[in-house]
Every structure is written in C-alpha cells, then in structure tokens.
Amino acid sequence: MKFSKRVSSIQPSATLAINAKAQELRAQGENVFSLAVGEPDFPTPQHIVNAAKDALDQGFTRYTAVPGMPELRKAVAGYFSRTYGVECSQNEVIVSNGGKQCLYNLLQVLVDSGDEVLIPGPYWVSYPDMVQLAEGIPVIVPTEPEDDFLVTTRELEQYATSRTKVLILNTPSNPTGCHYRLEKLEELARWAVSRNIFVICDEVYDQLVYPPAEPASLCSFWTRHPDMVAIVNGLSKTFSMTGWRIGYVLAQQDLVKAMSKVQGQSTSNVCSFAQKGALAGLEDSFAMVGEMRASFARRRDLALDIIGTWKGAVCPRPQGAFYVFPRVDAFYNDRVDSSTELCKVILEEEKIALVPGQAFGDDRCVRISYAVSDEVLKDCLSRIGALLARLG
Ligand SMILES: Cc1ncc(COP(=O)(O)O)c(C=O)c1O
C-alpha cells in the first residue's frame, strides 16, 4: 500500500517501541526490568479516581465543549495564578489529549510548509516528527553534557535563519532532566522574541523539580508577550495520570481558538469523565505531588551515586523530571558502536530496557528512567555498570 509522503517521513515513537519490546519479552516469561518508562510509578490519587467514577455514575458521558469544560479551563487558569502568580482567563486555556496533542495542535497552527523550528538537542522524541507532520523543518541545536545540556542564545543564533518560525524549549527536560533557571529561560525567550520567533515552552515536568532548584515557567513572560509565547503543561506527570490524556496550553485567545478549530476537526473534546477527574486534581491540594517529588529526588541521588562509579561515563546532575542521560560512548567498541547496539546488549544480557540516546538526537548517551523502586534501580544500575566494565 502506498502511504502519504507525510507519514513516510516520520518515525514511530522509540520510547513506546522499547517498552513494547520489554513487554514482549515479559510475555515470553523473561524477567525484564524497564528503566525505559516515561511515567511516574505512583497510582493516580484516589480523589481524582473517585471524581471520574462519580461523573460516570452521574451519566457525565457526553461531548463537552471542544476546548474543555469551562470549569476545567478556569481551574487551569487558577493553577497559573496559584503557582506562578500569573493571572489569565479561561479563554486563554485549551484542554487537549495530553501535552502531546497540545504540541501537535500548536505546530499545526503555527507552522507552514518550509518553516524552520529550532529544537535544542537532546530533545523529546516527538518534537521533530510533529514538526515534520506540520510540513516544517526541524533544526536541531546540539548541546553538551558538560554544559548540562542547556542551550545558549549564542548557539541558537548560529542555527536561526530568516525562515525560523518557532523555538521549542523544554524544562525540566526529557531526556536529560536538566533545567533552566527562570532568568536563563527568559533570556532565551527574549532572544527569540527579538528575532520574531514564537516560543513554545513545554513545562510538563514543572511539578517535578528538586530543591534547591525551583520550577521555572515562561507564563509571566507570556503576559508581556502574549502573541509570541505558548505554555504547554498537563496532568500526566503531575498527578501520575498518563493514561487519562489531559494536557493544556496557555496562549493568546486567538491562538486558543485556532487550536480549538484543529481539535474540533480531529478528536473534539478530551474524554468527559477524565476532565472531571482532572478538575478534582487541580482543585485539591498537591500533597501527593510533594511525596512523589521527594521520592524522585532520592532516586535521582541514588542513580547518580551508582553512575558516578562507571569510569568513563559523563552524567550531568538532573534537577527535575525522572531521567538521567549519561554519555557512555567511552564504552563503545567494534561490536557495540552506538547507543542502539548498547541498549540491545543490555536488554539481551541483563534483561534491562533503556532507551538509546539516538532516539533523542544524541547517540553518545542512553536515557535511564528512575521511575522505579529504589531496589530495582540499584540492582539494574549496578548490573549495567558491571556490563559496561566488561565492554570497556
Ligand atoms: C517533554 C514531554 N513533553 C510532552 C509529553 C507528553 O505527555 P502527555 O501527552 O502524556 O501529557 C511528554 C511525555 O513523555 C514529555 O516527556
């Protein structure tokens, strides 16, 4: 069958593919551990689950408004006010199927054929493919582990052209866990605006930043440049709600309307009772998030302690999300000469799934998720360390 050029140009999500491979091995009876997971290993808080159940029992099972229930959009606006002291209206918020659909809609609305989109690398797997689906051209701006994988305005300047339309920022980052301080984030945004480049800031991990680092959002900058910035966030990581598919965008009203038009011709509203759950989450205290944050901070330290013993690996200290992204190419040899080969060997010999850095645009690294128990993390990282020592 002949498919469109559009779909032929994109890759399946590498992270989903690795997890599928691990599940396949498990189904064959293998005891496989996955450090490839992109979701918190905590249950969704019970009050959120109950709110969705109640909604079902009450027959709240019909279409809602395309950009989300007004109460939920208002609650999202309340989140920005409570967390960052930024006032906005519900008309400046759209609720979509995860941060993923938010990003997809934004790129569909902002990017024309041939427009260039700057993406600092390593990047979240879906950005370049989403840009291509919008017929844009992803332009990767590489960063180094020695610089904590943080991009500078000078580096962005080198890759910007007259066709550059959008810059995608992500903090804390998937896959590196590295995080921009607010001043630094705003400096990048100021540079973009001065070049008439629209900024999409992906903040889906903003609640998972580990002290002394502090969450940083471009929402305050957005109030000063409403037609040049959009903030993407969601509840997947915040409340461990990955399967519920709740994401949202804060943006200028006309942009929200344009995204709503795209959403209205594709998926329509997010699942009605999932929205009710999301509302309960946003309106309640964030107590569970604090517990989750403390666990992740502890596991981050645990992971860094063990990776620190891998002689030859370079690993910046992540300040958020639940990933570490060590550079491990010092262990490559004639047989194992790429991150994909290395992950294959680790899966085959140790039955541990990781995601190759190549999927995130850096073949020197591997992504390790610490959204697993302390015991599994310790055991897996020690075994990987021993395997690397055998290779190196
Ligand atoms: C950086 C980043 N952005 C966006 C998403 C999308 O998440 P969701 O669609 O579940 O909100 C993810 C998920 O892994 C992510 O890591």
pLDDT score at 368? 98
Of 78, 124, 122, 81, nearest to 99 by C-alpha is: 124
Residues in the chain: 392
Task: Please state, as a whole number, how many other Cβ atoms lie within 10 Å of the Cβ of residue 253.
Answer: 14
Pick the atom of ligand 1 nearest to 235's CA. Answer: 11
CA of 271 to the centre of ligand 1 (A): 18
pLDDT score at 93? 98
Ligand 1 and 234: CB distance under 6 A: yes
Cα 391 to Cα 14, 131, 342, 356, distances in angstroms: 24, 37, 10, 17
Helix (H) or strand (E) holding 232: strand 229-234
Of 65, 82, 21, nearest to 353 by C-alpha is: 21
- Residue of minimum CA distance from atom 4 in ligand 1: 99
What is the 8-class DSSP label of residue 328? -
Residues 6+ apart with CB under 8 A from 31: 351
Ligand 1 and 100: CB distance under 6 A: yes
pLDDT score at 16? 72
pLDDT score at 40? 95
pLDDT score at 323? 98
CA of 322 to the centre of ligand 1 (A): 12
Ligand 1 and 202: CB distance under 6 A: yes
Pick the atom of ligand 1 nearest to 173's CA. Answer: 1
CA atoms of 228 and 192, how far apart (whole Å): 9
Q: Where are the alpha helices (DSSP H) in the chain?
A: 5-8, 14-27, 46-57, 70-84, 98-110, 126-133, 153-159, 182-194, 219-224, 253-264, 272-283, 287-307, 339-345, 374-391
Of 67, 75, 73, 69, nearest to 90 by C-alpha is: 73
CA of 162 to the centre of ligand 1 (A): 29
Ligand 1 and 204: CB distance under 6 A: yes
Pick the atom of ligand 1 nearest to 124's CA. Answer: 1
Q: Are strands 164-170 and 198-202 parallel, antiparallel or unpaired?
A: parallel
CA of 360 to the centre of ligand 1 (A): 13
Ligand 1 and 174: CB distance under 6 A: yes
222-251: buried (b, 16+ CB within 10 Å) or exposed (e) per residue? Answer: bbebbebbbbbbbbbbbbbbbebbbbbbbb
- Residue of minimum CA distance from atom 1 in ligand 1: 174
CA atoms of 3 and 182, how far apart (whole Å): 44
Pick the atom of ligand 1 nearest to 321's CA. Answer: 16
Mutate to test the pocket of ligand 1, among 236, 238, 245 (most ligand atoms within 8 A of CB): 236
Of 41, 47, 40, 43, nearest to 279 by C-alpha is: 47
Per-residue tokens: 367: 């992504």
What domains are there in the chain, each with its CATH number? 5-43+288-391 (3.90.1150.10), 46-283 (3.40.640.10)
Residues 6+ apart with CB under 8 A from 64: 269, 270, 272, 275
Distance, CA of 336 to chain centre: 28
Per-residue tokens: 253: 């009203």
CA of 234 to the centre of ligand 1 (A): 8
Mutate to test the pocket of ligand 1, among 204, 238, 239, 270 (most ligand atoms within 8 A of CB): 204
Residue pair 231/252 in contact (Cβ under 8 Å)? The answer is: no
Of 384, 199, 377, nearest to 310 by C-alpha is: 384
Pick the atom of ligand 1 nearest to 234's CA. Answer: 11
CA of 40 to the centre of ligand 1 (A): 12
Per-residue tokens: 86: 């930024």
From first to last of its 392 residues, the chain has per-residue pLDDT tens of 989 988 888 877 767 777 777 888 889 999 999 999 899 999 999 999 999 999 999 999 999 999 999 999 999 999 999 999 999 999 999 999 999 999 999 999 999 999 999 999 999 999 999 999 999 999 999 999 999 999 999 999 999 999 999 999 999 999 999 999 999 999 999 999 999 999 999 999 999 999 999 999 999 999 999 999 999 999 999 999 999 999 999 999 999 999 999 999 999 999 999 999 999 999 998 999 999 999 999 999 999 999 999 999 999 999 999 999 999 999 999 999 999 999 999 998 999 999 999 999 999 999 999 999 999 999 999 999 999 999 97
Ligand 1 and 138: CB distance under 6 A: no
What is the 8-class DSSP label of residue 363? T
Which residues face 176 on adjacent strands?
A: none
Distance, CA of 328 to chain centre: 22
Ligand 1 and 38: CB distance under 6 A: yes
Cα 233 to Cα 23, 84, 245, 362, distances in angstroms: 29, 13, 12, 25
pTM comes to 0.97
Ligand 1 and 177: CB distance under 6 A: no
Q: Are strands 366-369 and 355-356 parallel, antiparallel or unpaired?
A: antiparallel
Ligand 1 and 104: CB distance under 6 A: no
Ligand 1 and 165: CB distance under 6 A: no
Of 302, 340, 334, 263, nearest to 100 by C-alpha is: 263
- Residue of minimum CA distance from atom 13 in ligand 1: 38
